[in-house]
Chain A
């Protein structure tokens, strides 16, 4: 009996370990995949990982940048999401993956300025090698991935259905996804598409 139990424990541990392994079938994560953790520097030069965020029930990973008008249109909404949901365990983690040579406005120095000016309450991280964007499959800014506490991707897409005018937005996709996860429910709308600035990949 004891032996069976240990065997069961071993199996379940192995299974748990397996399920926490990042899955990526190429072309980035799909809903249901487990995202990798990463270590990227914030605007103060300190490395930040998802695992560093205390009492996390999940994460709102936002690929964004400094210059893109769509990213700018969502700036305040991203801050508001963090202010509302970070105390409930869902922190925003913003990542800029744009290449500074292609888009000089998206340099690390300009990230620092923007974070200061807008008083970003969340980590704003610099994906200089673009490896994190590639692993996630992020293509545009803003491009959002809602992860649960095991880093399983539960939602990919837009923040809401009206980039131009927050007052006119009817569907708040990210908020709905986070609310569902907080209530232990399945996310209803798992994927949406939005127009955004293409991520500025390094010129090879």
Chain B
């Protein structure tokens, strides 16, 4: 009797630990690795959602500076069919050691993915032939409305909101 009670208690403890563990995983966002194909799916999506694809890296100062603007856009507009994706172009070896801790520290809420392609020459043109490869860079697309706007520069919230409002 006392044995089963003890087991019950242990089970509850295990459940509690599991629950806490799962919650922690939800809090610390996972960073999926994507290939050119995923990028092209977003770029060519037949969707009524505006995709805001921002190319950044933890070491890129102007990128880090503009991240709050994208986060704000995500907060204000994610319920209005605007999807912000922050695409990290850091080195692969730094994903665990730098990108994940950075995302956690900055509490980024927009979706963060890692561009898992070693040769940018294979995918930079797919984003825009206008893009030289310099960071930061942002692509804003709404295929159903034929909107395709590319920026090879730092953006602020006012500009982002204005663009999104015009498209919506």
Contacts and interface: CB of A to CB of B under 8 A. Distances in A.
Contacts of B135: 140, 195-198
A198 B133 CA distance: 8
Contacts of B131: 193
B139 interface: no
Interface stretch (A48-56, A89-97, A120-128, A161-169): A161-169
A164 B93 contact: yes
Nearest to B89: A195
Contact of B91 (A69, A139, A140, A171): A69
Interface centre among A73, A171, A193, A196 (most CB of B within 10 A): A193
A16 interface: no
A165 B131 CA distance: 23
Given A164-B92, A164-B93, A199 B121 contact: no
A69 B132 CA distance: 17
Interface string B65-90: 00000000000000000000000010
22 contacts: A73-B91, A140-B132, A140-B135, A158-B120, A161-B118, A162-B118, A162-B119, A164-B118, A192-B121, A193-B131, A193-B132, A193-B133, A194-B120, A194-B121, A195-B55, A195-B57, A195-B124, A196-B133, A196-B135, A197-B135, A198-B135, A199-B134
Interface of B: 55, 57, 59-62, 89, 91-93, 118-121, 124-125, 131-136, 152-153
